[in-house]
Structure 1
Amino acid sequence: MKKLFPIYVRIPVLFALFFMAMEFFIDSGNKPAFVKFPILNVVLLIFLLILVAVELVLQATNKIVDTLLTDEQRKAQEIEDNLPFTETEFYKKLMTKLTRTRKVEEEGELLLHHNYDGIQELDNVLPPWWVYLFYGCIAFAFIYLVRFHILGADDQKTEFDKEMADAKMQVEEYKKTAPDLMDKEKVTLLTDAADINAGKAIFQTNCIACHKADGGGAIGPNLTDPQWINGGGIKNVFNTIMEGGRAGKGMISWKDQIKPSDIQKVASYVLSLQGTNPAGAKAPEGEIWIEEGAVKSEVKTDSTKTK
């Protein structure tokens, strides 16, 4: 037995079997049991220490027994230990137990008293390995029945559905705060100087050809007056930059070139230009944007509120 399964094989195998049994019988959801229940790490450690202690005791016992053997017994033991695997006493006993084979000379005792065209039948028993496997399947089926149909543990489909639902919720939560998944409904006006300056840098790189550096307008409209072609406020300005302006003659969509978080900064910078009235600004176009709840007297000075 020692030769077939040395200590460095026995301990990991037994530990792994114990660990798998623990994971199977403990319902820990979508996390391993030893992660969700840290106390199990202590149990695993204790089990490992027990295995090591048992092996140390067995080794000490074997050494004591070895010292009590006579020279003849020790030589016989050495001969058996050096035999090939197929000739060891352990292997022979194991195969006998697993198959219950009978010698050819004993087949006469197993013959049944009937024949078919000269063909006779032996009354062999089922191989024990097959019987044990059959009993194991029955035990597994019983445990499965109790766990899933009596105790109500989640089956694979239910676990999958729950994990997918949790994942979907996590994705939705991530989308709420992920800056580069920004859209018109979630965008807010930025007022921090660092964000405005970042938006200004992007504006000067991509937008001055059509709107001029001061936002007074060239090919594109004036961005400093309270009138807007596609609506004012952070949501509309963001959406116009993201999706583009009027079909055929408006501004192109920038969503493939500028990420949403940067478009938010550009839109916030554009709205910071309201009321600057640069020299040589283009004539107003579109309609005056009035925020919900705003009064007419506020239009010229308070046109940056979101709608």
Structure 2
Amino acid sequence: MKKSIQSTVYVIFVIVTFITLAKSFMVYENPFSFYENPLVWLALIGFVLVVVLKEVVNVLAIKRATELQNEKDGIVPEPSNAWIQKLLKSWTKAKAIEEEQEIVLDHDYDGIRELDNSLPPWWIYMFYATIIFAVVYLVRFEVLDGDNQVVEYNKAVAEAKAALNKYKATAKDLITAENVTLLTDAKDLSRGRAVFNLNCASCHQKDGGGSIGPNLTDEYWILGGGIKNVFATISNGGRDGKGMIAWDKTLKTADIAKVASYVLTLQGTTPTVAKAPQGEIWTEE
């Protein structure tokens, strides 16, 4: 009688709570917004927890009742992890301590006796697998002359370079030393001057006369003049160990193109203090 009353109360609670929550969700404009309806969501979460906990209690009660009945009937159920024990036994062929007498060898060394255990199946199967692998490897790379690691690496590098070149050829707005063009728009040159003053003037002076870095106003160039060479020099850096750092990790390629174009506008100007020429005279081909 007591259980029937509890079940009836529980069913009524579930039905009433569900209807109440449903109507609460229908009232709000955004019923699934947690920030607008936190209390409704908390009530929903509480309702779900009550239902789940009730079912867990039922399962535990049934399990306990089954155990008591088995004890009463003298039934010893198989442990839940029995399948694991069977699997381990089949894969190790391990003998229980009570059965070790069957595999004890006759010889005795100062009271130490040896068990005649057989190799575990998992070890044997792995050994067979290594033999099969060795045969396949021998045929693949020695008989059929398959590609070794060096050849595979070179092929992968070649494929990556081909994919990169294809991307460069089709990608829009990708500026490289091969496709860069001289910019003449006033807005681009203004941006180039701003970037130059911020990053380059400390070594080349604002007027390009040169200080630590070379003079940018004369016709002498260490790594070549022209928009492509200047762009490449700014991107990749100057001479190893004593030249300018590479700016491709700091500046965007679009800004490098604008700086390179601005640098070329300094050609032929008269700086306040001009550093002696460095490099060789460069002429456009």
- TM-score, with normalisation over the residues of structure 2? 0.41
